A and B are shown apart, each in its own frame.
Chain A
Amino acid sequence: MEERTIEIRPPGVASKEVPRMMRSQAGGQEPAGIPESNATLGGLFEAIEQDRKFETVVHDSARDDNPVLEIQEFRLWYGEAQALHDVSMICPQGKVTALIGPSGCGKSTLLRCVNRMNDLIDSVRISGDMLLNGQSIYDKGVDVIELRKRIGMVFQKPNPFPMSIFENVVYSLRIDGERDRRVLQEVCEQSLRGAGLWKEVKDRLDSSALALSGGQQQRLCIARAIAAEPDVLLLDEPCSALDPIATGRIEELIEELKGTYSILIVTHNMQQASRASDFTAFMYLGRLVEFGSTEDIFLQPKLKETEDYVTGRFG
């Protein structure tokens, strides 16, 4: 058990965490002596690292009777290594939910489970369930293709397709067989404007998307995701390759989109999380640690670890 915990731990975290762990053990605290509740808040990370049970702290502000997405005790293994442990949370309808947490804690993994991208990896096993509008995502009878059409996704690394900018944006319409040039053009322009890319590329819609810069490619991927008008939009660090202006544009876009769309966004940028999101979930080593409205998480977190993390005093 312990060994597995060490495996999962990303190297960067490990070097920082080892001394703390030593200290706590040197202090003569028996592992079994720590209660199973979250009472010993200072030792929460240790508890997680030692794979002991704990309960996610959920603020009252983050309860919703009618969420668009509900994640229920979700667990995931990559082969033998468990990457998600009993994650339960919701994404309220029409709101922006931010996922924060140190690198390697499973944010992308969780996000990719929502549109079942992890089906593509042979070694992945899961348990638990996710409900989209009350219907199971992982039910046997679910049509994965239809599901993905309702969920747009922007990946951590930009992945434009090897075709023209125009074709990239209207890809999801093309695969549905849309031929009407006028419809396609309109959708293309709207989506590109939405992603703040229209001005830069409007004169070269027919040139290769791979010739765009990294940041432009990322915005193109955002345009591609919103062109399909999905119910839920999954954004995995959409701004990590963008300059402040483009980032601001994306945040504006998120602001515009919310209400119509429900958005689940992963970010390492605390300011972005606090500015752009309505709800925030803090993850650590595959567990959901604390979940609540963004105000609560940033201003009055219940856990010291969360406070340390959002204020940058983490580690």
Chain B
Amino acid sequence: MSPVVETRSAPSAPAPRQRSRRRLTRRRTSLFAHGEPMVWLTGGALVIALAMIAGLLLLVLGQGGLTFWPKPLDRFVLEGGVALMGEVTSSEVLEDGGSRQLVRTGNYDLTQVHFTWVEDSNVLERSRPEWGLVLERQSWGRFYGEPRAFLIDGETVAEDPAQVWTRFEQFHPGTRERYEQRKALETHEIGRLNARIESARLAEKSAELDSGADSPQWQRAHERFVRVQEQNESEFDAIREEITQLNAENERYGLVLETADGTRTTLSLADVVRAYPANQLGFADKLGVYLSRWWEFLSDDPREANSEGGVFPAIFGTVVMTLLMSIVVVPFGVLAALYLREYAKQGTIVSMVRIAVNNLAGVPSIAFGVFGLGFFCYIIGASMDELLFEARLPNPTYGKGGLLWAALTLALLTLPVVIVATEEALSAVPNSMREGSYACGATKWQTIRRIVLPRAAPGIMTGMILAIARGAGEVAPLMLVGAVKLAPELPLDGNAPFLHPERSFMHLGFHIFDLGFQSQNSEAAKPMVYTTTLLLIGIVVSLNVLAVLVRGRLRRRFMTAHI
């Protein structure tokens, strides 16, 4: 004891003098100590980060937002008498001082090109024809031409462009309606019949597999199959009859158009999605075209190798996949974090698990894709097929990429995010609250459920937001486990069991990749890349905003005040 006392008391005599001297020689606070430069440094870093994000958003917003605005139609007569008509999409200055313009000339079925470069020095005459029409077609892309005649049952009923246009506007909506009807019949009705006969066939097949051919069970299943087949046959005929009628009615109307180089073609009205005289549009008309294109983009199926039409299946696939993923990952991650933080005895093993989980967040996403394909599709999926869907083999049901496997793969990918965020939220719950609950006689689980989880809910929501943002934007693993360029059917439809998690699906992220890098008509697809990007950002942002709002409500409920 005494040495301690001595060391304490020994320096006590000279100490006061030293201290006072030190105080005298204290230097003035330096510029760095004041921190002015740090303000600039930190502020600068923030500004640069914000500027980059703003730049990205502006680019996407500008390019994506303008894609659908209708452009005027220009007619060029070039040296050598070649005439062109189309929309000028971009122009550039050449090295020799001249300039050239990229003109979307369409009419792919006639010319085999979508775009043409026009050098300004070559142009003899440039005009904006009053009756230049832009027609967006169901197939073959856009058509540019001037109306020459309107045909009903092969008879010319109008030749003056204005009259032709009036006739077109009169009959076009009806033909489109019939076209939509036909499409609905083809997909829904025939899809329903196909599903029915497929299930009967599968029943027969599995009866054969279960109890052998010629067994009474098989006999019954077979009879049923034959009955369904007969019944379907007659229904098929009825539907086909209806379709033929609709087609025949639509075939009555034709629009004769003349292209810039004088070729005349007749277009079936049903084939035209949208048409407008580009050079006569006022602002309101343009806005109408713009909005109707956006509507089509959001609500319709893609056309023309995805470069036109809508992206509804991709929106749907993205949202459904993200929701499925959240449904899986959030409870899973929260439970895991609960165990790690509340139940497990804190020690080396738990620390190691924690480090492993954190590292999982750094694994490249494609690695998860490979794992998903190898494990989910080829092991679990294939076994499920063998056990449950034997009748469909060799066609795989679950043994290939699909919505479910994609959602599970992404759930695995985002699991660390949720676990880490939840753990953080749990450890931020003050221990005194837990003690208070235990002191009231609550069990561990009651404490967790009534005190810890509600209090940690906003933090858990943060984890969910991060997971959604990460999951919705991920593309690489999806290419391996089920995202496709064009999915024939939505994963949700009217045939039982309504949600088909085994189906492959379209995804906005993959759609962007496909449009930008895999499209044959890349010039036409480019604007769509921006629009789709805009949409994807929009969806992720709105999912986030939604979650943030919910979190805000939770936070307010547990607002902490002065203590």
A residues sitting closer than 8 Å to B (CB atoms) are 2, 6, 18, 21-22, 25, 115, 117, 120, 122, 145-146, 148-149, 151-153, 155, 157-163, 171-172, 174-176, 208, 210-214, 217, 221, 224-225, 228
Residues of chain B with a CB closer than 8 A to A228's CB: 440-441
Binding site for A on B (CB under 8 A): 1-2, 4-5, 8, 345-346, 430, 432-443, 446, 450-451, 454-455, 557-563
CA–CA, A21 and B2, complex, Å: 10
Are B1's CB and A21's CB within 8 A?
Answer: yes
Q: Known contacts A117-B439, A152-B439, A159-B436: does B563 contact A214 (CB below 8 Å)?
A: yes
Interface of chain A: mostly helix, strand, loop or mixed = helix
B residues in contact with A145, CB < 8 Å:
441-443
Residues of chain A with a CB closer than 8 A to B4's CB = 6
Is B557's CB under 8 angstroms from A161's CB?
no
B446 surroundings in chain A (CB, below 8 A): 175
Q: Which residues of B contact A155 (CB under 8 A)?
A: 432, 435-436, 439
Contact check, A163 vs B440: say whether CB atoms are below 8 A apart: no
With contacts A21-B1, A175-B446 taken as known, whether A210 is within 8 angstroms of B441 at the C-beta atoms is no
Instruction: Indicate whether A148 sits within 8 Å of B438 (C-beta atoms), given known contacts A161-B451, A162-B451, A163-B454.
Output: yes
Contact A148 B433 (CB under 8 A): no
CA distance A153 to B2 in the complex (A): 43
Q: Is the beta-carbon distance between B441 and A146 smaller than 8 angstroms? A: yes
Pick 11 A–B contacts, CB within 8 A, sort by A.
A18-B8, A21-B5, A120-B438, A162-B557, A171-B440, A175-B440, A175-B450, A208-B558, A210-B561, A211-B561, A214-B563
Whether A175 contacts B442 by the Cβ 8 Å rule is yes
A172 CB contact (under 8 Å) in B1, B433, B440, B443 = B440
Q: Nearest-CB distance from B490 to chain A (Å)?
A: 42
**Which residues of chain B are within 8 angstroms of A115 by Cβ–Cβ distance?**
439
Would A210 and B558 be within 8 Å (CB), given that A158-B563, A161-B433, A163-B454 are in contact? Answer: yes
Q: Tell me how far the C-beta of A4 lies from the nearest C-beta in chain B, rounded to whole angstroms.
A: 13
Q: Complex: how many Å from CA A162 to CA B440?
A: 15
Q: Which A residue sits closest to B347, measured CB to CB?
A: A122
Task: Evaluate contact between B432 and A159: CB separation under 8 angstroms.
Answer: yes
> With a CB–CB cut-off of 8 A, which chain A residues contact B5?
18, 21-22
Residues in A whose Cβ lies below 8 Å from that of B1: 2, 21, 25
Q: Which chain B positions have C-beta within 8 A of A212?
A: 561
| Chain A, Cβ-Cβ closest to B2 | A25
The reply to whether A224 and B441 form a contact with Cβ atoms under 8 Å apart is no
- Least Cβ–Cβ distance between B551 and chain A, in angstroms: 14
Given A22-B5, A161-B451, A214-B562, CB of A117 within 8 Å of CB of B435: yes
Q: A25-B2, A157-B432 are in contact. Are A224 and B440 (CB under 8 A)?
A: yes
What residues of B have a CB within 8 angstroms of the CB of A151 in the complex? Answer: 439
Chain A nearest Cβ from B6, distance in angstroms:
10
Once bound together, how far apart are the Cα atoms of A6 and B434, in whole Å? 32
Expressed in whole angstroms, the minimum distance between the Cβ of A46 and any Cβ of chain B is 11
Given A174-B450, A175-B450, also A213-B562 (CB < 8 A): yes
Residues of A within 8 A of B451 (CB): 161-162
* B558 lies within 8 A of A162 (CB): yes
CA distance A210 to B455 in the complex (A): 11
Chain A nearest Cβ from B440, distance in angstroms: 4
Given contacts A25-B1, A159-B435, A161-B433, contact A148 B561 (CB under 8 A): no
User: Which chain A residues border B560 with CB–CB below 8 Å?
Assistant: 210
- Sort A-B residue pairs by CB-CB distance and give the 4 closest, nearest first: A149-B441, A159-B432, A153-B439, A162-B558
The complex places the Cα of A13 from the Cα of B426 at a distance, in Å, of 36
The residue of chain A having its C-beta at the shortest distance from the C-beta of B430 within the complex is: A159
Q: CA separation between A122 and B346, bound complex, in Å?
A: 10
Q: How far is the CB of A184 from chain B (nearest CB, A)?
A: 15
Most buried by B among A161, A176, A213: A161
Which of A22, A146, A151 has most B Cβ within 10 Å? A22
Chain A residues within 8 Å of B455, by CB: 162
The reply to whether A159 and B433 form a contact with Cβ atoms under 8 Å apart is yes
- State A312–B437 Cα separation when bound (angstroms): 36
**A24 CB, min distance to chain B CBs, angstroms:** 11
In the complex the two chains form, is B563's CB within 8 Å of A217's CB? yes
Known contacts A117-B435, A171-B440; can you find 19 more A-B pairs with CB under 8 A?
A: A18-B5, A25-B1, A145-B443, A149-B441, A152-B439, A153-B439, A155-B436, A158-B563, A161-B436, A162-B557, A162-B558, A163-B450, A175-B442, A176-B441, A210-B558, A210-B559, A210-B560, A211-B559, A228-B440
